[in-house]
Amino acid sequence: MASFWRRLRGALSGLSATTSEVEAKEFAVKTLRPGGTPIAEVKDREPTVVYGEVRSVALRPQVQVPALVVEIADGTRPMHVVWLGRRHIAGIEPGVLLRVSGRATLQRGIATIFNPSYDIIPRHG
């Protein structure tokens, strides 16, 4: 009887994991575009192009140089995009889809691009 409950518990936990995996894959299909690299595959100190949806925008004021920090995600991992010396960039807000290109680095285990070039991608339909 114990094995039945163990199998049932395993099957139910698999369903919830499968649902989140399906949602992540659907999001990844929406954000991955030709010429882009999934954020999970970004290599340290390599030039890269990624597409991701803006999840958060934060200003990190410093004594001398402010930094606008934007977190984007593509369904594989989050990435930080940092513009040094900027307090605001028109059009960049949560929910916007961005194409970001620059040299990636790992900062505390999170892929980060400093002062990238970017395009705001319009959403159709």
- Dump pLDDT digits (tens) for 57-116: 999 887 788 999 999 999 999 999 999 999 999 999 999 999 999 999 998 899 999 999
Tell me the mean pLDDT in the region 28-32.
55
Tell me how far CA of residue 19 lies from CA of 26, 39, 79, 109, in angstroms.
11, 21, 23, 26
pTM for the model:
0.74
User: What integer best gives the mean pLDDT of the chain?
Assistant: 83
Tokens of 43: 């290599």
What span, in angstroms and rounded, lies between the C-alpha atoms of 63 and 27?
38
9 Cβ contact list (under 8 Å, min separation 6): none
- Dump pLDDT digits (tens) for 35-47: 789 999 999 999 9
Domain 2-121 has CATH 2.40.50.140: yes
